[in-house]
Structure 1
Amino acid sequence: MNRTARLYALVEELRATAPRPLTVAALAARFEVSTRTVQRDLQALMETGVPVRSAPGRGGGWTIDPQMTLPPIHFTADEASALAVALAAADSSAPYADAARTAAQKIAASMTDPASAAAQELAARIVTLPSPSDPTVRSAVEQALTTRTVLRLSYVDAAGRQTNRVVEPAGLLAADGRWYLIAWCRTRQAGRGFRLDRITAAAPTTEQAQPHDLTELLRDSAAAGAAPPTTLAPLTRFA
């Protein structure tokens, strides 16, 4: 994670737990950097006007102005339970899993009773089996999708053959509990799906990718009938 991304993530981490303070040691462990680096980052945020502040004494630490946190959200108990289940599905191998974790923190901090109690009760009864995943690969795929840049990757197919590819990401496909990167493959000069757990290495580039229609890339494939989840309709309505 570069410094710019870390500064943004640091603000989001403080927002997610506000008004509860976090220690420098806890933040250093979260972002896998030294305490000195965290202190420099916090100082930089203060100098740019971000309302972070330290709380001295026992139980103190760093926090952010509560006005930068979400106001209470009035979910029903069923809606809160649905969110708990959906966020539980975003395990460590899913795209944007780290962002899902901080989103869960924000939602939990902003919910009011009885929705909060319902979500907590259900969350205590959800377990998952950990799946092996390479966070470096996942991060590279996320970056390429977000910035719409070309991605270089090494891929092992179902027969165990490994190839190196240069691809232009178009989107993500979820099927049967697996995640696939759908992209235009420059090597094959065709649309291809790459199962994320079969990507052994990935590196984003600074080259802008050409726009590709996800539906067109899936045409004539086993996933030709894939459609956007209805639960995401409110997010895409104004896109």
Structure 2
Amino acid sequence: MTRTDRLYALVEELRAVAPRPRSARWLADRFGVSSRTIERDLSALQQGGVPIWAEPGRTGGYCLDTTHTLAPLGFTVDEALAVMIALGALATSPFRDSAASALRKVVAVTDDHRLTETAELAARIHLLGDEKPTGAPPGLAAALRTGQVLRISYTDRDGGSTERDVEPMGFVGKGDSWYLIGWCRLRDGLRAFRGDRIVRAEPLIERAPRRPLRAEDLGIVEGRLRAVGPDSTIS
């Protein structure tokens, strides 16, 4: 059994007996590995966002919160491959950490036969991008959900640095580059901030009023703007 197969099987074993616990020793005997290996596997699942916790005591062990986990997914191989590609394409975006966590969760609850076939196909697919890093400070994506004003340190194309308070309104992705769209209080207007030029982003206590964001307000002169949600327009 591969480690990926074992991770999937661990989740399913804990799901089957939830909310009762399983000890690391019991799981080690079940999967024919050491208790230390099981503990490393469980730690990896926890770090990936799977809600597993330890119950202390003689009859304790590891438990899975079934109300916060995905049921086994019935993805076809093509669907699973599409999900894997889509999440992998976010590796240079402000959502990269969440995308990596989501991918680990999908892997943990995908049928092992389909997962193996999907992984073999995914190994033949590559994304071409720039060599330079195009990331953004951690936590930038969360500002859109929380509505908190961001205090950012920003470097413009000429190398000049400014500190600004920005009300997050959305994101636009183009190739490997991602732009934070926000209301800049320094310039008193709508601005786009490229992620790799945002040196620091500090969320403030203040929550900004949610401003409407329309495609025509962005002034896109090249390319066609597409929404990623069920709707075809930005709102």
The alignment's TM-score, normalised by the length of structure 2, stands at 0.67
Residue in structure 2 matched with residue 72 of structure 1 by the alignment? 72
| Match runs of 1:124-203 below 5 Å | 124-126=123-125, 132=133, 137-139=137-139, 141-203=140-202
Which whole-Å CA distance do the structure 2 matches of 1:83 and 1:96 have between them? 15
Quote the offset at 1:67 in angstroms. Answer: 6.4
Q: CA deviation at 1:23?
A: 4.3
Q: How does 1:21-170 map to 2 (within 5 A)?
A: 22-23=39-40, 26=43, 52-53=53-54, 62-65=62-65, 68-91=68-91, 93-112=92-111, 114-126=113-125, 132=133, 137-139=137-139, 141-170=140-169
Pairing partner for 2:230 from 221, 228, 233: 233
Superposition pairs of residues 190-229 of structure 1, within 5 angstroms: 190-215=189-214, 218-222=217-221, 225-229=224-228
| C-alpha distance in structure 2 between counterparts of 1:225 and 1:212, whole Å | 22
| Partner AA of 2:86 in structure 1 | A
Code of the residue aligned with 2:178 in structure 1: it is W
Q: Which amino acid aligns with 1:90?
A: L
Q: Letter of the aligned partner of 2:73 in structure 1? A: I
DSSP-derived class of the 1:74 partner: coil
Contact 1:172 1:181 in 2 (8 A): yes
CA distance in 2 between partners of 1:149 and 1:65 (Å): 30
Shift of 1:216: 6.0
Higher helix share: 1
1:105/1:205 Cα in 2 relative to 1: closer, same or farther (>3 Å)? same
8 A contact 1:77–1:114 mirrored in 2:
no
Once the two structures are TM-superposed, the CA of residue 74 in structure 1 deviates from its matched residue by 1.2
Equivalent position amino acid for 1:64 in 2: L
| Rg (Cα) greater in structure | 2
Task: Indicate the percent of aligned positions where both proteins have the same amino acid.
Answer: 33
State the SS of the aligned residue for 1:187: coil
Whole-Å separation in 1 of the counterparts to 2:175 and 2:67 = 41
Asked if 2 retains the 8 angstrom alpha-carbon contact of 1:172 and 1:179, the reply is yes
Residues 66 and 120 of structure 1: is their aligned pair in 2 closer, same or farther, counting only changes over 3 Å? farther
User: Residue deviations 1:121-150, cap 9 Å, x none?
Assistant: 133345667754667x231x2232121011
Structure 2: distance between partners of 1:201 and 1:68: 32
Where does residue 31 of structure 2 map in the other structure? none
Provide the rounded CA distance (Å) in 1 between the counterparts of 2:210 and 2:86.
Answer: 29
**How many pairs are equivalent?**
196
What is the deviation of 1:227? 2.9
Listed as ranges, the gaps of 5+ residues in structure 2 are 1-6, 15-26, 28-37
Tell me, in whole angstroms, the C-alpha distance in 1 between the residues paired with 2:167 and 2:223: 19
The C-alpha deviation readout for 1:65-120, integer Å capped at 9, x for no partner, is 556532222111111111111121121x3222222112112211222255322322
Cα distance in 1 for residues equivalent to 2:211 and 2:165: 15
Residue aligning to 1:35? none
Q: Which runs of 5+ in 1 are unaligned?
A: 1-13, 32-49
